[in-house]
Amino acid sequence: KNEVEQSPQNLTAQEGEFITINCSYSVGISALHWLQQHPGGGIVSLFMLSSGKKKHGRLIATINIQEKHSSLHITASHPRDSAVYICAVIKLFKSSTNTGNQFYFGTGTSLTVIP
Amino acid sequence: NAGVTQTPKFQVLKTGQSMTLQCAQDMNHEYMSWYRQDPGMGLRLIHYSVGAGITDQGEVPNGYNVSRSTTEDFPLRLLSAAPSQTSVYFCASSYFGTLNTEAFFGQGTRLTVV
């Protein structure tokens, strides 16, 4: 079972709609990322949060540490928002030689916004 | 400050060929990692490094080799390419021991093994 679960896997919306993508995780984490990947493009970080809520323009990310859940909201969606959105958590890990933080990724939500 | 530079962007290999994917960062990050991205499976960790001279295996290391001779560079080597290694590969870097660290990704390499 993946430690990070995202829903929905695919989402189609009309331009202007309010969009919500959900992320649930099963392990204790130190922080959570929302990433964006455009078709054929690289991956960029949208948000990094460990509590509460963050807002950048039309994007809002929330996290509830007790419920192990985060949501990414897009207000007034636009076709240029079409992309894959990936939830990633940072978890403390220990190996035989090192202790530090490592990323674990959800499988992504593919969003298509239709004009 | 160029961030994470990953090359090449596209590559086609024949089965059995070897190649190296290059990854370099100029942010003095300790942690560098390689992922492969396959449909429906998300990003899976191949190998990672927490500093020069230190590497370790991730979730799917078989068929891949890495080295970290400098802080800046973390190349990924395919020893004998197989069709199962057809995928999109991403290099990433971040600070390691710091909580709430942000990850920076390369542009990705789309590899096809025929």
Give the Å distances, CA to CA, from B74 to A64, B93, B107: 35, 10, 15
Which pLDDT tens digit goes with each residue over A16-66?
A: 999 999 999 987 777 899 999 988 778 988 988 888 999 999 999 999 989
DSSP-assigned states of every residue in B56-80: EE-SS-TTEEE--SSSSB--EEESS
Task: Write the residue in A41, A45, A105 that is nearest to B43 by C-beta.
Answer: A105
d(CA A48, CA A62): 10
The mean pLDDT value for A104-110 works out to 91
Are B100 and A43 inside 8 Å of each other by CB? no
d(CA A87, CA A75): 18
Which pLDDT tens digit goes with each residue over B35-79?
A: 999 987 889 999 999 889 989 888 899 999 999 999 999 999 999
The mean pLDDT value for A94-111 works out to 79
By the 10 Å C-beta count (0-12 exposed, 13-18 middle, 19+ buried), A36 is classed as: buried
Are A90 and B101 inside 8 Å of each other by CB? yes
Q: Does B23 touch chain A (CB under 8 A)?
A: no
Q: Does B49 touch chain A (CB under 8 A)?
A: no
Q: Does A65 touch chain B (CB under 8 A)?
A: no
Buried b (16+ CB within 10 A) or exposed e, B62-89: eebebbbeebbbbbbebeebeeebbbbb
Which SS3 state, helix, strand or coil, does residue A16 take?
coil
Considering only CB atoms, which chain B residues are within 8 Å of A38?
Answer: none
Which chain A residue has its CA at the smallest distance from B41's CA? A107
| Residues in chain B, total | 114
Q: Does B98 touch chain A (CB under 8 A)?
A: yes
